[in-house]
Amino acid sequence: MAIGYRGAMGDASLPCSTDRLELDALRRDLWPRQTLAMARGELPPAPAEVVWPRDAGEVRAALDRAQATGRAVVPYGAGSGVCGAASGREGALVIDLKRMNRVLELDAEARTVRVQPGLLGQHLEDWLARRGLMCGHSPSSIACSTVGGYAAARSAGQFSSRYGVFDDMLLAANLEAPSGTVRAGAWTPRGQEDLLPVLCGSEGALGVFSELLIRVVPLPERRWLRGYAFPNLVSAWTAMRGLLQAGLWPSVIRLYDPLDTRLNRSTRPPGPAATGRSLLSRMHALARRTPGLGAHLTDLPLAMPGLLNAVFGTLGSEVALILGFEGPEALVAAQVELAAPILEAARDLGPGPGERWFQHRHSVSYKLAPVFLGGGFADTMEVAATWSRLEGLHDAVRAAIGRHGLVMAHFSHAYPEGCSIYFSFAGKGELATYDALWQDALQAAAEAGGTVTHHHGVGPLKARAAAAEAGAAVRVWREIKGQVDPDGRMNPGRLFPDDQPEAPGPPPPDPDLGPVFAVDETSLLAEVDPAAPPSQVEAALRSRGLALRLRPDRALGPWLVAQRREALDSWECPVFAVQARFQDGASARIGPAPRSAAGPDLRRALLRRARAELVQVPVRRVDPDRPALLVQADPAAGDPRELRPAWRTPDQWAFEPDQRAIVEALGLSLTPASSRRAHGPRRSPTAPRERE
């Protein structure tokens, strides 16, 4: 039975319980290792107490209570995390946030919504849809995860290529921490450091999100989806990269490897819908229908994964890509036209595969249970890298997983600079096999230069791998954690373990090469001197036919430090890798992929605390003979936040020369181009708004 006690703040009675029914339910999140252990008769530990706060004041009261009783605190959203970050901890106080599930305020003009953290993603989208809006954040777990969980574990949804990952949508947050309230992002008090990038991905180890301000967009007027078959992965990657680097913003760009392509029958002509059933669930169904065959059907392949992976490897190399554009009708039509030449090498499969995927896009989650019921385990690993490293990363991780389990992959979060790889795998149900698989896979990902997690977060599963990825930058985390949670009460030990030795960092870049130390032409990224004036950087890039994508008004180092997310009114990634050196000579290089969920984003905080040696920033190809298309700003043609010109001022928008179809489709009138303007104004609305 629930009891209430007086909160330390005011006299509100804070609902709480020590009842076993309540505590049992908080033993596990959705880390498959725990599911497997449960199937084998073990249960993760139960916490000691649970509270259900209704507002920030009650969260504070709960933190005060933990302080008074000396308990560790585990914030709990919907427990859909797959890495164990919210799982049961003996003696802990769980703050279950699902009663904080209210939409607090919608600002339709600014296109923001203020919400409590325990709101389920699906409920937020339902609420917004009734008002013609959406966040565009659609993880497969949308029905069973909370917005606070998205921020805490740096979630990414199925439409991330157009709307960004959750980090990109989150404009401000309040976090209740043991030392007090942290106001971040757009709510950062003047003169204070904006800690929003560090709060995102903090996985409950700094405090409890109590309020979030999220970017919203109008529901799309048109949604276009189509399937394409490519002869092999490499040709499909080239097309994906081509689409994204041509300044198109697909809402969906999903590529399936040959096995996944076959299982989903994605390249076949339209027939009965393939509802995304996995190989194992089909085997399971067959086993049920054929008792003699029984469990062997599921047991056998899992017992011999190497053989089966090899057999599947011979099935052919054809792969399926699902491409989608959405937004204003004219813009969609123009993007489809611009995409056509890039897709020339592909076989057009028509709208069927895309529409089928859209209809069944959350069904994939039902695939898990049959595998566990059949005595095996199923799990997923999502890594990411720049385009230039993608193939190596794919081959290395696939080989590592394939030694222990049956593996297939798809590529679903793509950016101009790189892409994530989502491996699905299943194995025979032994914990030792599970652990060995993960250890090998994480090591392979790190060695291949990728991030160990694109969007599932860290938890005990990846704590060491994430700490290794951060290297000496973990010091930045520890400093901030020490200020915000001085007693180490918040979800201790799960994010970056305290006992891990610091990995040695890279040497400084060769100053003679500056201001542009290296260019990754495939991924369109340049490693530049953060202290060099932008004009020098631009000149050095121009000699290689490149230009900076964003337009700093001072050296990149200080510009990036001052950069604030809410200043970008549609999402863009201003910085990739960052390298900096601490006073004691230790260095750290972080940011191996366009997007990562390997703990918080420490890049800006690192630039503030250590001497920046190198920043890797996005660039675009420029041709002096083909200047940018400058047009008169025309709100009647559409909201520029939807149209996404390359840059804009209040009275002018600029599109890339290849985007002429967009300009024409929108009926925009070109202004006479000047060569200075063709490279964009020095200061644009996307430059940082300084408040620090």
Partner 1 sequence: MSPPAAADLGPCVYCPRLCRNVCPVAVGTGRESASPTAMATQVWLYLEGRTELKLALAAAALCVECGACEAICEVQQPLAHLLGDFRRALSPTGPQPLAQVEGEGALVAVEVDERRWAEALAARLGKPVARLRTEDHLGHDATGQPAWPAHLARLKAALRGRTAVVSEHRSLAVLTAAGVEAAHLLDQLGWSGAGVVHQPCAGPRLPGAPPALALACCGSRAALPSAHPDLAVQLAEDCGRRLYDERPSPEGPICSPDSTCARALREAGWTVEDPLSALLGGAEPPAPP
Ligand X SMILES: Cc1cc2nc3c(=O)[nH]c(=O)nc-3n(C[C@H](O)[C@H](O)[C@H](O)COP(=O)(O)OP(=O)(O)OC[C@H]3O[C@@H](n4cnc5c(N)ncnc54)[C@H](O)[C@@H]3O)c2cc1C
Burial (CB count <10 Å: 0-12, 13-18, 19+), residue 307: exposed
Nearer to partner 1, 107 or 690 (CB): 107
85 makes contact, choosing from ligand X, partner 1, none, with CB < 5 to 8 Å by partner type, with ligand X
Provide, rounded to whole angstroms, the least separation between the CB of residue 428 and partner 1: 16
98 makes contact, choosing from ligand X, partner 1, none, with CB < 5 to 8 Å by partner type, with partner 1
What does the block give as tokens for 612?
């920046």
Residue 161 makes CB contacts below 8 A (sequence gap 6+) with: 244, 249, 250, 251, 252, 253, 413, 414, 415
Residue 130 makes CB contacts below 8 A (sequence gap 6+) with: none
For residue 117, state whether it binds ligand X (rule: CB under 6 A).
yes
| Phi, psi for residue 95 in degrees, rounded to 5 | -100, 100
The region of 73-81, 180-188, 226-234, 321-329 touching ligand X under the rule CB under 6 A is 73-81
75 makes contact, choosing from partner 1, ligand X, none, with CB < 5 to 8 Å by partner type, with ligand X
Provide, rounded to whole angstroms, the least separation between the CB of residue 111 and ligand X: 22
149 makes contact, choosing from partner 1, ligand X, none, with CB < 5 to 8 Å by partner type, with ligand X
Distances (CA, A) of 673 to 654, 663, 669: 10, 14, 12
Closest C-alpha to 51, from 101, 99, 94: 94
For residue 86, state whether it binds ligand X (rule: CB under 6 A).
yes
**Which residue among 145, 278, 451, 579 contacts ligand X (CB under 6 A)?**
145
CA distance 502 to 606: 15
For residue 278, state whether it binds ligand X (rule: CB under 6 A).
no
322 makes contact, choosing from ligand X, partner 1, none, with CB < 5 to 8 Å by partner type, with none
CA of residue 350 relative to chain centroid, distance: 29
Provide, rounded to whole angstroms, the least separation between the CB of residue 383 and partner 1: 21
Nearer to ligand X, 229 or 255 (CB): 255
For residue 80, state whether it binds ligand X (rule: CB under 6 A).
yes
Distances (CA, A) of 63 to 69, 79, 182, 393, 492: 10, 20, 14, 42, 14
Provide, rounded to whole angstroms, the least separation between the CB of residue 100 and ligand X: 8
Pairing state between β 93-96 and 73-76 = parallel
In 583-671, at which residue ranges do the beta strands (DSSP E only) sit? 587-590, 611-621, 629-632, 647-648, 652-655
Nearer to partner 1, 285 or 340 (CB): 285
For residue 155, state whether it binds ligand X (rule: CB under 6 A).
yes
Nearer to ligand X, 88 or 515 (CB): 88
Residue with tokens 């100053």: 511
Q: How does DSSP assign 454-500, residue by residue?
A: SSS--HHHHHHHHHHHHGGGHHHHHHHHHHHSTT--BSTTSSS-TTP
In 12-57, at which residue ranges do the beta strands (DSSP E only) sit? 13-17, 49-51
Nearer to partner 1, 117 or 418 (CB): 117
CA distance 512 to 529: 11
Q: Which amino acid, one-letter code, is at 667?
A: G
Question: DSSP assignment, residue 672?
Answer: P
**In 10 A of CB 183, how many CB atoms?**
18
Residues 28-47 that bind ligand X (CB under 6 A): 29-30
Residue 199 makes CB contacts below 8 A (sequence gap 6+) with: 151, 173, 175, 182, 184, 206, 207, 209, 600
Residues making contact with partner 1 (CB under 8 A): 1-2, 20-22, 24-26, 30, 35, 38-39, 41, 43, 50, 52, 76, 78-80, 96, 98-101, 118, 120, 122-123, 141, 143-144, 275, 362-363, 365-366, 368-370, 372-373
For residue 125, state whether it binds ligand X (rule: CB under 6 A).
no
For residue 85, state whether it binds ligand X (rule: CB under 6 A).
yes
204 makes contact, choosing from ligand X, partner 1, none, with CB < 5 to 8 Å by partner type, with ligand X
358 makes contact, choosing from partner 1, ligand X, none, with CB < 5 to 8 Å by partner type, with none
What does the block give as tokens for 28?
């596990």
In 591-670, at which residue ranges do the beta strands (DSSP E only) sit? 611-621, 629-632, 647-648, 652-655
Nearer to partner 1, 71 or 284 (CB): 284
Provide, rounded to whole angstroms, the least separation between the CB of residue 122 and ligand X: 12
Provide, rounded to whole angstroms, the least separation between the CB of residue 521 and partner 1: 41
Nearer to ligand X, 78 or 612 (CB): 78
Provide, rounded to whole angstroms, the least separation between the CB of residue 276 and partner 1: 10
For residue 593, state whether it binds ligand X (rule: CB under 6 A).
no
418 makes contact, choosing from ligand X, partner 1, none, with CB < 5 to 8 Å by partner type, with none
**Which residue among 52, 150, 163, 325 contacts ligand X (CB under 6 A)?**
150
**Which residue among 17, 23, 50, 76 contacts ligand X (CB under 6 A)?**
76
Nearer to partner 1, 77 or 594 (CB): 77
Closest C-alpha to 167, from 565, 687, 574: 565
106 makes contact, choosing from partner 1, ligand X, none, with CB < 5 to 8 Å by partner type, with none
**Which residue among 34, 146, 251, 278 contacts ligand X (CB under 6 A)?**
146
Nearer to partner 1, 22 or 527 (CB): 22
Query: What region does 687 belong to: left with phi over 0, alpha with psi -120 to 50, or beta?
Result: beta
Residue 493 makes CB contacts below 8 A (sequence gap 6+) with: 463
Interface with ligand X by CB under 6 A: which residues? 29-30, 74-82, 85-86, 97, 117, 139-141, 145-146, 148-150, 152-153, 155-156, 203-204, 208-209, 365, 455-457, 491
